[in-house]
Structure 1
Amino acid sequence: MYKQFIQNKMVTIEELSFGYRNSKNKLFQDFSLSFEKGKVYGLLGKNGVGKSTLLYLMTGLLVSQKGRICFNKIDVTRRLPITLCDMYIVPEEFDLPSISFRNYVEYNKTFYPRFSMDDLHKYLECFELDMDVNLGALSMGQKKKVYMSFALATNTSLLLMDEPTNGLDIPAKSQFRKFIAMGMSDDKTIVISTHQVKDVDNLLDHVIILDQNKVLLNESVSHICQKLLFVEISSDEMADEALYVSPSIQGKSMILHNKDQEESAINLELLFNAILNNYAQINQYFNISIIK
């Protein structure tokens, strides 16, 4: 059983410590975490908690002062071709050359052995774009769409996305959720770092919430919904037994202990705010070990 547990871990972060030179405080201190195959992870947290930094550490683009990060049991800081061709990161902000997207693909696809042109066309169609767009003439939102399409078409085992919905309009955010679902498979791991939790509702398999070098929550969506019940109610009924209450258009959004194993859809924004503002109440239902 333990051997199978280890084999399912695609990325392992062990006793990581990292801080920027111009900062007095470390972003991570003796920090450990892992990511399994075949899941879409939401890496959630307020701005400044280190979500983007963690993604760059996971690719080896940043190097920790202490600890180790392994991708498929290989230290990412070695930046070996066998790992680089099997991981892809979509940063929050990026520049693209003023060339046609078709030429961009031709120049870059050879670095990724499992790149699929058929998949690329499928993802572009999802965003209502084509291969002949000029990258220099695109808005930031459009650039993000074509870049994410290329990233998913590489079919790398690990895809890291930093605030992917920033710059997307409301219809495009809906398309994004469809786009990720289309590209997911059992041998892939997708990690989406965001503070815009509404944009990844109904998309995630697993939720990780970070705050100041701490993992406040690290649970599958199915387990969260087994323990917690998310409800919308127009009155104050059940407010006394609620673990967390927030005003909503319908009246009240509440998180309750799911004593009767009722079905409810996860409300990520409500959960996120509950964890940050009323951690002790939520923590009692999960075996969360806080990393100091």
Structure 2
Amino acid sequence: MIQLNNISFSFKKGEPLFNDLNWSLQPGKTYGLLGLNGAGKTSLFNIISGMLFPSDGACTFDGNVVRNRNPQFLSELFIVPEQFELPAMSGDQYTQLHAPFYPRFDEQLMERSLSELQVNSKKKISELSFGQQKKFLLSFALATRTKLLLLDEPTNGMDIPSKSQFRKLQASLNQPDRCTVISTHQVRDLGSMIDHVTILKDGKIIFNHSLDEIFEHLSFIKTESDQPDKFIYSEEVLGGLHTIQPFKDGAGNEFDLELLFNGVIQQPEQINKQFNGGE
């Protein structure tokens, strides 16, 4: 679906942000794009959506170059940016105006999302709180049923119950043709929403594996034992350590995305070699 081939990009008079970056995104998958602030997540979203142009390489959607931003591509893309400004109209008016651009727009899903996230579409969206505006835009995004959905820090500004409700809503949808990419540095918010983990650091993809691959090669084990030579990475928790270890058949595997993220950021080579036979 989306293919980034040998992407290089830099802002004017700046150091290269991406250099020879490659990434493939497939339909039916939900990718977690993780990274510290400044890692390049938002810029990568802008390249994928055709709003930034790489200096070398190409990004394609179903074989078509996205920088051309042709109508067919735009009707299959929806992006929820981290920062946005919505017009002074009601949610219903916004939907009536913008829904026709998306050929598979699902009005029933829109109504369900607004109801579950407790958003009043009769009110002017510009007068809603930032959290309520975010929930309205996420509801619209889900309802577009585009093939590609990009969510940049989707849970920023939302309270804890709303975050939980959005995760349940997103996970409940049957979307075999949709590729969803969720970018965030708030790793805890993603745990149950993704099936693939991609981690950026300093403009490079340093980890890129499905959850199935992760469970085949790593074990996440809480232990009281202090034997660091057996651990790839560990953090102190109440009552002992939460560790990443080479896969152990039958071991209690309590997957922790935040632990994995911290481990990859600090020990990328040690963790990645587990996916290459431990070599």
Q: TM-score, normalised by structure 1?
A: 0.91
2:242 matched residue in structure 1: 253
Q: CA RMSD in A?
A: 1.6
Q: 1:59 aligns with which of 31, 34, 49?
A: 49
2:11 matched residue in structure 1: 20
- Shift of residue 202, structure 1, vs aligned partner: 2.0
- Shift of residue 171, structure 1, vs aligned partner: 1.1
Question: Are the counterparts in 2 of residues 42 and 192 from structure 1 also a CA contact under 8 Å?
Answer: yes
Q: 1:22 to 1:247 in 2, by over 3 A?
A: same
Question: Are the counterparts in 1 of residues 61 and 73 from structure 2 also a CA contact under 8 Å?
Answer: yes
1:236 matched residue in structure 2: 225
Q: Secondary structure at the match of 1:285?
A: helix
- Paired with 2:252 and 2:237, the residues of 1 have a C-alpha distance of 20
Deviates more, 1:186-195 or 1:243-252: 243-252
- Shift of residue 232, structure 1, vs aligned partner: 2.2
- Shift of residue 22, structure 1, vs aligned partner: 4.4
Aligned pair 1:194/2:191, yes or no? no
1:21 is matched by which residue type in structure 2?
K
Aligned pair 1:277/2:260, yes or no? no
Question: Are the counterparts in 1 of residues 221 and 252 from structure 2 also a CA contact under 8 Å?
Answer: no
- Shift of residue 54, structure 1, vs aligned partner: 0.4
Question: Are the counterparts in 1 of residues 207 and 268 from structure 2 also a CA contact under 8 Å?
Answer: no
- Paired with 1:159 and 1:185, the residues of 2 have a C-alpha distance of 11
1:142 is matched by which residue type in structure 2?
Q
> Pairwise mapping of residues 32-43 of structure 1 onto structure 2 (< 5 A)?
32-43=22-33
Question: Are the counterparts in 1 of residues 29 and 178 from structure 2 also a CA contact under 8 Å?
Answer: yes
1:247 is matched by which residue type in structure 2?
E
Question: Unmatched 5+ residue regions in structure 2?
Answer: none
Aligned pair 1:264/2:253, yes or no? yes
- Paired with 2:221 and 2:116, the residues of 1 have a C-alpha distance of 32
Question: Are the counterparts in 1 of residues 9 and 16 from structure 2 also a CA contact under 8 Å?
Answer: yes
Q: 1:177 aligns with which of 158, 167, 171?
A: 167
Count of matched residue pairs? 277
For each residue in 1:244-264, what CA deviation from the matched residue of structure 2 results, as whole angstroms up to 9, or x when unmatched?
A: 110123432111111325462
Q: Percent identity?
A: 40
Q: 2:158 aligns with which of 168, 190, 210?
A: 168
Q: 1:261 to 1:236 in 2, by over 3 A?
A: closer
Q: 1:205 aligns with which of 195, 213, 216?
A: 195
Question: Are the counterparts in 2 of residues 206 and 221 from structure 1 also a CA contact under 8 Å?
Answer: yes
- Paired with 2:147 and 2:181, the residues of 1 have a C-alpha distance of 11
Which aligned segments of 4 or more residues in structure 1 are displaced greater than 4 angstroms?
Answer: none
For each residue in 1:131-157, what CA deviation from the matched residue of structure 2 results, as whole angstroms up to 9, or x when unmatched?
A: 213212211111000001001100000
Q: TM-score, normalised by structure 2?
A: 0.95
> Pairwise mapping of residues 147-166 of structure 1 onto structure 2 (< 5 A)?
147-166=137-156
For each residue in 1:14-49, what CA deviation from the matched residue of structure 2 results, as whole angstroms up to 9, or x when unmatched?
A: 1111111142x0111111111011000000111111
Question: Are the counterparts in 2 of residues 225 and 263 from structure 1 also a CA contact under 8 Å?
Answer: no
2:63 matched residue in structure 1: 73
Question: Are the counterparts in 2 of residues 90 and 151 from structure 1 also a CA contact under 8 Å?
Answer: yes
Q: Secondary structure at the match of 1:98?
A: coil
Question: Unmatched 5+ residue regions in structure 1?
Answer: 1-9
For each residue in 1:55-89, what CA deviation from the matched residue of structure 2 results, as whole angstroms up to 9, or x when unmatched?
A: 01101011111110001111001111110000110
- Paired with 1:129 and 1:257, the residues of 2 have a C-alpha distance of 45
